[in-house]
Amino acid sequence: MIKVVVSGAAGKMGREIMRAVWKAGDTELVGGVDPFAEGIDVGILMETGEVGIAVRSGLKRALDELKPDVLIDFTTPESVYKNVCTALECGVRPVVGTTGMTASQLEDIKETASDRGIGCIVAPNFAIGAVLMMKFASEACKYFPHVEIIELHHDRKIDAPSGTAIKTAEIITQSRGRFRQGKAPEIEKLAGVRGGKFDDGIRIHSVRLPGMMAHQEVIFGGLGQILTIRHDSISRESFVPGVLLAVRRVINLDKMVYGLENIIFNGNGNAGG
């Protein structure tokens, strides 16, 4: 059994992940951490009835006392980096779905994980369909180098653009090679209307509206034709199989892996829940 602590236990994603860990046959939920729900039984948050595990407010103390194998983090961009560093310091393997960390923070985590020989998986998106969307985009851009990305999320998402959009743009840039996108000079009548510009001119547009969950379109333009690759997560359950896959795989890693695609396509992982 893989012992798991969930950080961000009181959040909507945290509750969904705790339910999944609780139900899975090879994982054991040993604790939840959330400063906004200290003392609440995790069973209340999971809507299963009390199970005798109280939410804690301090991450380090929880990891020291509960001694889990894996920490799953779905918190906030402000706290995730510190949480991951704390987990590595305690010898616990982080599986991170929180976005918003800087490139320097990710590099620091990568170095720390390698130095300590501790597995760590950071993924901008744990939905298997989203990973496939990025994979298909990396192939399409070889034939359709002109591309823009539209990502759409609920209006409570803090960071923009999404980690998935940035990751998609990175993959496209790597796959299509050097290509300067954009032809005629542009005049923005409204500042920012053309979206944020990634390397080589890829534009990323962010939409935040109530009623949405997590969606992304990668739009390719070619001579006389348009190709659109779209993925929609319509519920938080879509992330569960990928998170459980990461929990099972991180046990055998001794370094940080960034992006679930490196687990799915390079590790022959079973994406089943």
Q: Which residues are catalytic?
A: 153, 157
The single-letter code of the amino acid at 130 is A
Token pair, residue 81, equals: 């980096």
Rounded-to-integer distance, Cα 133 and Cα 137, Å: 6
Token pair, residue 189, equals: 């009548």
Residue 127 to residues 4, 216, 265, Cα–Cα distance (Å): 20, 12, 14
